[in-house]
Structure 1
Amino acid sequence: MKIAVFAALLSVASAMAQQYLLPIGSNVNNRQSEVSIVISALDTWARLEDTFSFYPYMGDFEDVIKNRVKVLAERYVPPLGFEQGEFALNVQATPGPYSQNIFRLQQSDGKWAVPPEVLDVKLQYGEVTLNLTGVTKVELRVRGNGREERFSSDGSSPGSACFIQTVDRELGQGLVILAKEYVNPQYREEWITEGEVVLWENGLFAEFNIIDGFFSSASANLPKLLESIRAPETQSQQSQSPVLVVSSPKIARITRIGSITEITVSVEATSVANIEFSGTLNGNWYSIPKYLQPLNLQTGSTKFTHTTEAPASFYRVRLAESQKQ
């Protein structure tokens, strides 16, 4: 009977461990983020952009980034006359890592192409920032090779609070900031083999494994903050039916010759939208005179033109009201 009860307790503990997760350690990318990938010519304003929402069920984050960069690079056509200039590849995940690479195109099969080494994106990581309200103190404990270090946001532990990155001011703003040197395996010192992040909510606490971010223990009464850090669904937890993630139509390229601006719109799924322009980013937006009515956009790339004497204009694609959810 005691063995059965012990096994049941282990089962409950295991289920709870998988139910809550901090995006740290080996799971540092295991959370939703908004990603922007841009290839641009530094000497012009011509650019090709891919923006999308990343979800853990889509697979390994870094693999997804590299695949999207490769697809974008295959679609990129440098502006005429600037093929031998400098180009930039910028990747930004919010929240998450980033990458910037300045490069020159190379000839491949008679075409200008992004070099293979640029496609092998190397992401750089900063501190892990979590939006969590109600956290009153953060503790960080790391151990290994007979060594132990302890830090706390209120300075009550021997180690300096500077190493934990979070102080009372950030906690008051609903931010928990964890230093990459402890919670990201890419930057963590080799001597650290185990440890915990402890989040306090007044007298209640929740503890997480620093190596993989999984929940490990908590006070008898669970803190409310746990509801904000439920583990996301992974690919294996999704139904077997394929999941299609479709982005809204977007501007892939803008070029201008004289008074004529050419706008290339990329569409992943048939949609109805307006193409609009403005003299400033914060100004009023107007439909391009040639396209006053909503346009039926088909899958693929379509070019539109706008004739204007204005020295500069901004453009956007806006889904028609009937298309919005």
Structure 2
Amino acid sequence: MSATATTTVTATDSPRKGRSGARPLHLPGGISLRVERRALAVGVLLTAAALALAVVLIGTGDFPIAPWDVVQTLLGNGTPANDFIVNDLRLPRVLVALLVGAALGMAGGVFQSVSRNPLGSPDLLGFGYGSAVGALVVIILFKGGATEVAVGALAGGLLAGVAVYLLAYKQGIQGYRLVLVGIGASAILIAVIQYLITKAQMIEATRAMVWLTGSLAGRDWAQVWPLLAVCAVLFPLVLGQGRALRMMEMGDDAAHAVGVRVERTRMLLMLAAILLTTAASAAAGPISFVALAAPQLARRLTRSPGGNLLTGALMGSVLLMVSDLASQRAFGADQLPVGVVTGLVGGIYLLWLLVTERRAGRI
């Protein structure tokens, strides 16, 4: 379900809307929505899948709980034991997975639209590595706790994002230049990460490697509330700029012609996407490839051009929860960090994407 400007829930503005199933929906207060039926159906199915996965994940663990008992417990009708396990131990982890996946999916959609490049994702532009450097500086040099590490990750990601934007800026931002600058920044930041690890003592190095893997283990309400606040502020902001983003995909001149303040809008969207990425990294570590794959999979399902921001966010949540379920169940007693699973699946997806883009003559 892609969202566009002030009043739209579709990413396409072509005259073929009538044949694609888009219909206007008039709401009180003079608000008009244009809903594309296929995008709406995909959004509903992804929402249902995310809720079902959440129930299954909450019931998964050393003490399995049946889905119906999970639902009863969430509604306040569970046993004291189930109430403790569900609400105190497992629900925060699932909510972090849902919010991190949604934040990465929406951020990936923004970056791919701004750069007009399917490889334009936070993984490849260096923002995740910036968060990693900030977190490792706190872990290795200052011996900080979980809160300080989260703040360091947020600061590092923001600094990396600002640096990449400024280096790529030349009378505006051009997508190809942004990707190249991001790849160069990633290489530098990876070198800094490796240097920090070599200078760390064994305990700090082990802790740093665990964080760098990306994991949802041990997440509690302390990670949920800050991430929820960031998403509650930035999701409406990004969705409200959906139509402007769609116009910018047709070129800066075309966007200017319809009244879009291109550079201001681009800067606002990139800042919001960087904040979403760094907040996700601060909560769960650098989860790779979700931001790359989620918007593209959503676009293939909806068959709508544009960022597919809302469906991309829903797809990100589904992907991360599926990966978390696989990390807990697919390897027997040996549970893997979710970042290992997303990296494995994402690497395969990236190779497939490069092959298909090359065959299509786009790279």
Q: TM-score range by the shorter chain?
A: under 0.3
Higher strand share: 1
Q: Which has the higher contact order (CA 8 A, sep 6+)?
A: 2
Larger Rg: 1
Higher helix share: 2
